Amino acid sequence: MGEEYKHSVILKEDRCIGCTSCLKVCPTEAIRVREGKAKIIPERCIDCGECIKICPNHAKSAITDDLSMIKKFKYTIAIPSLTIYGQFPSNISICEMLNAIKKIGFDEVVEDTVGADISIHLIKEYLLKKSDMNLPLINSSCPAVIRLIQMRFPDLIPNIIDIETPLEITARIAKKEASRRENIKIEDIGVFFITPCTARVTSIRKPIGISKSYVDGAFSMKEIYGEIVRNLGDCNSSNMGTSTKESLYWPIAGGQAAALGIENYLAVDGIHDVIRVLEEVELGKLEDVDFIECSACSGGCVGGPLVIQNSFIAKNRIMKYARKMKETKHTIEELDSFIKMYESGLIRLTEKIEPKSVMTLDKDIVKSIQKMELVTEILKSLPGLDCGVCGSPTCRAFAEDIVKGENCKAVCIVKTMNGFKNKNK
């Protein structure tokens, strides 16, 4: 985890043919194609992984950790994303999967259900006090959505529920318990997440809302899958496969709301639909909704850029496991302890989530307005087709790039053709 780290999503330039497919799907207009190659504008990238999913040439990929990293720690714990249960045929038991992960070289495997169960209970408590809150409340569990809100919807930051993600809660508890049980210093214990998600990798390395992640590294589910398959075959640990019904819903779109057992909610998946709904929240149109569960990926985390199986099959398999699981039952003492942990700041987002003003044309408000006027002028001379041939995602982005002096060599091919009609006029 070097100082240089900015994002998990990177471009392999030699593979890029400048086809502009990624340009069109990037939700934050973070991509330009210049001189035949895509470029990512780092300040704008939210690591959603949409460009990885669409690139026909596999020119976009994710930086994750190498398995050799586990050798740096005396004791290692793997936390596989719950999406892992959707990646194998249904005749493979959860216990078998978890055992196979352990055999890769971890001392322990802990299910992410621990944190999911606690989160579900805390969000329920949160909703009891909704009259004091900015409604609708927005889940904090999708890091790509949180980065999107910082960048495009800063006024909605107060709507984000300030509960740590299930992963951070699970990692914190697993580390502390292992330290006590094995009598090992916390810093000698490495916790590793097996991730379907590029944004999660960035949230581990550059957390938002907390000063430091309890997770020490992330392995791509896609990369580690072959190792897990090689180790499948037995299930010799009695403490594995302890998921509850509600927690298993968590990685599926709508699963958080289902686990909460509430009715007045919206479950929105797919980053472009998330943007559409957040625009409505920003306009004050959805104040009668209690809770919005936003997932950047279509289908929820099961649709992440680093999964193996398509999200529909994965969802179906997870639901099959969930149906066989027991419902969560915590004692009053346990529920009280979750609330105390939250109130004491242990599993709460204690750092301020800051807005990021990367969409403005200039830090100086006066200059920004002047530049905006210039953009409007240039836009009038462009065809308004948003074709992307110039290498900017839209005609507006092209005009902004010109004003910012970033796009001097690019030309509008459509504009140079005879007889086009400007639809902006």
Binding of ligand SF4 by 19 (CB under 6 A): yes
Report strand pairing: 75-80 vs 189-195.
parallel
Out of 5, 32, 38, 132, the residue judged to bind ligand SF4 by CB under 6 A: 38
Which DSSP string corresponds to 267-320?
A: EEESHHHHHHHHHHHHTTTTTT-SEEEEESSTTSGGG-TT-SS-HHHHHHHHHH
Q: How far is the CB of 206 from ligand SF4 (least distance, A)?
A: 14
Residues 6 and 42: beta-carbon distance below 8 Å: yes
Q: Which of 1, 5, 10, 49 binds ligand SF4 (CB under 6 A)?
A: 49
Q: Counting contacts by CB under 6 A, is residue 148 touching ligand SF4?
A: no
Q: Which of 46, 97, 169, 395 contacts ligand SF4 by CB under 6 A?
A: 46
Residue selected from 33, 120, 137, 260 as contacting ligand SF4 according to rule CB under 6 A: 33
Out of 6, 10, 17, 242, the residue judged to bind ligand SF4 by CB under 6 A: 17
The verdict on 9 binding ligand SF4 (CB under 6 A) reads yes
Q: Does 18 bind ligand SF4 (CB under 6 A)?
A: yes
- What string of DSSP letters covers 78-121? EEE-GGGGGSS-TTS-HHHHHHHHHHTT-SEE--THHHHHHHHH
Return the number of the residue (43 or 334) whose C-beta is nearest ligand SF4: 43
Nearer to ligand SF4, 92 or 151 (CB): 151
Q: Is 45 in the site for ligand SF4 (CB under 6 A)?
A: yes
- The closest of 218, 168, 192, 204 to 63, measured between CA atoms, is 218
Does position 22 bind ligand SF4 by CB under 6 A? Answer: yes
User: Number of residues in contact with ligand SF4, rule: CB under 6 A?
Assistant: 29
Q: Give ∠ CA 35-37-41 in degrees, rounded to 5.
A: 105
- Rounded Cα distance between 412 and 154, Å, is 33
Residues numbered 222 to 241 that lie near ligand SF4 (CB under 6 A) are none
Q: How many CB atoms lie within 10 A of CB 328?
A: 16
Q: Is 28 in the site for ligand SF4 (CB under 6 A)?
A: yes
Positive or negative: CA dihedral 336, 341, 347, 350: positive
Closest to ligand SF4 by CB, 56 vs 419, is 56
Name the residue nearer to ligand SF4 (CB basis): 43 or 234.
Answer: 43
Q: Does 358 bind ligand SF4 (CB under 6 A)?
A: no
**Of 13 and 280, CB closest to ligand SF4:** 13
End-to-end Cα separation, the chain, in angstroms: 50
Whole-number minimum distance, CB 198 to ligand SF4, in Å? Answer: 6
Which region among 49-57, 187-195, 208-216, 228-236 touches ligand SF4 (by CB under 6 A)?
Answer: 49-57
Tell me how far apart the alpha carbons of residues 95 and 281 are, in angstroms, rounded to a whole number: 42
Pairing between β-strand 31-34 and β-strand 75-80 as defined by DSSP bridges = unpaired
- Amino acid occupying residue 56: P
Q: How far is CA 33 from CA 8, 360, 388, 409, in A?
A: 20, 21, 9, 12
* Using rule CB under 6 A, residue 26 touches ligand SF4: yes
The one among 1, 2, 10, 21 contacting ligand SF4 by CB under 6 A: 21
Q: How far is the CB of 56 from ligand SF4 (least distance, A)?
A: 6
CA–CA gap between residue 379 and residue 382 (Å, rounded): 5
Which positions lie near ligand SF4, rule CB under 6 A?
A: 9, 11, 16-22, 25-26, 28, 30-31, 33, 38, 40, 45-51, 54-55, 57, 59-60
